Structure 1
Amino acid sequence: MTSEPITVVLGSASPARLRVLRDAGLDPLVLVSDVDEEAIVDRLADAAPEHVVTALAQAKADAVVETIRGGDDPLFDAARTDGVVLTCDSMLLLDGRLSGKPHSPEVAIEQWHRMRGSTGHLITGHCVTRLHRGEADAATGHQSTSVRFSDVSDTLIERYVATGEPLKVAGAFTLDGLGGWLLDGIDGDPSSVIGISLPLTRRLLTDLDVDIADLWRA
């Protein structure tokens, strides 16, 4: 058991990731990173998919840690002393092609035309950084989960895209929202598809000598 509480910081604006962590007993602070994700993806165009998403998670972690260590916001004082920073990035691998957030309805519709009736792999890169006594140590990994997409109609795709939900999520779908109606199932870790893998995060924390039970809210 740790004698002092460890502050958890989520380096993501994703409400789904925050919800997963809160439902799992954590109460993280949120600090969104400022990272040019497209530039990183372009630079790693020839890299393995799992390397791309893990590099994105690492870049986000570096940015968040730099902000925490260099800032004067009292909200993060405890994190500077003893904290963990959790960052992730997800992309969908389908037919050898990686897809992130579609951003526009046209891209989302085109992507769903490719996805329907197929199986893709939602790959989520993770970086866990321990801030302790002025030092920063990190552990990284990735989780891949198979997603079976329903063979849905053009009309249903268009109505789903019109809700706006798929525009701002990796792969243009959700498991825990309206997108769940358009999936036949998954094979793997559901928390990773939502945005952050609880089993992998626990293992990475263990690598950094942090017991997940020490992070649970009282």
Structure 2
Amino acid sequence: MRLVLASASPARLSVLRAAGVEPVVRISGVDEDAVAAALVDPTPGDLVTALAVAKAEAVLDAVAAEHPDSVIVGCDSMLAIGGEVVGKPHTPEAARERWRRMAGRSGTLLTGHAVLRLTGGEVVARASGSEPTTVRFGSPTEEEVEAYVATGEPLAVAGGFTLDGLGGWFVDGIDGDPSSVIGISLPLTRKLLQVVGLGVPTFW
């Protein structure tokens, strides 16, 4: 029984490895904008969960052929702040603007997970859900924001910050699950694995 991580995120891979799991990594390549556009007035939790499901489903055929007895875990994260749900900034300009809005405020980092259990190459059980964590942002100086954006780190991560990287300098605290903010919630993943009939030690 292998755990397949349907994500290119090095942070998610690092969390799983530190927690005793060496996953098979398969990158989904899902068009997140297209998935989001197909949803009708979703809540933030519904949005990240739908994206996680899409990512797990995207690698299903390939994983079924390679690892017919396995569990696929799909993940997605977004930040809800000031009444808006935002993903990765992608550009330095967007990252700068994001930090101007976040500085000194709190936001909710939502992580959606989807779990597909395969037996003999067929899906025999599914589970999905989301986890909210409150993030309290510090107030970095303009110079600090410029230096942080110049590293490139905030451009490709949900909300434009990390907890476990350079962005950790500018996070005053969190209320909730730290692994969820990094990218994959260990408590939620454990609960979803239980729903599909598996325990975490299966993958140790």
What is the TM-score with the length of structure 2 in the denominator?
0.97
Paired with 1:169 and 1:133, the residues of 2 have a C-alpha distance of 35
Paired with 1:145 and 1:29, the residues of 2 have a C-alpha distance of 27
How much is the aligned-residue C-alpha RMSD, in angstroms?
Answer: 1.1
Structure 1 counterpart of 2:132: 144
Paired with 1:105 and 1:173, the residues of 2 have a C-alpha distance of 13
1:93 and 2:80 matched: yes
Superposition misfits of 4+ residues, deviation over 4 angstroms: none
Structure 1 counterpart of 2:98: 111
3-state SS, counterpart of residue 121 of structure 1: strand
1:194 and 2:182 matched: yes
1:153 and 2:148 matched: no
Runs of 5+ unmatched residues, structure 2: none
Paired with 1:201 and 1:15, the residues of 2 have a C-alpha distance of 17
Paired with 2:38 and 2:44, the residues of 1 have a C-alpha distance of 13
Q: How does 1:13-162 map to 2 (within 5 A)?
A: 13-44=8-39, 46-69=41-64, 71=65, 76=66, 79-80=67-68, 82-136=69-123, 137-162=125-150
Give the deviation of 1:45 after TM superposition.
Answer: 6.2
1:7 and 2:2 matched: yes
Give the deviation of 1:96 after TM superposition.
Answer: 1.4
3-state SS, counterpart of residue 52 of structure 2: helix
Paired with 2:101 and 2:39, the residues of 1 have a C-alpha distance of 23
Runs of 5+ unmatched residues, structure 1: 1-5
Identity, % of aligned positions: 56
Q: Rg: which structure is higher?
A: 1
1:173 aligned residue (161, 169, 174): 161
What is the TM-score with the length of structure 1 in the denominator?
0.90
How many residues were matched structurally? 203
Moved more, 205-214 or 132-141: 132-141
Which AA in structure 2 matches 1:176? D
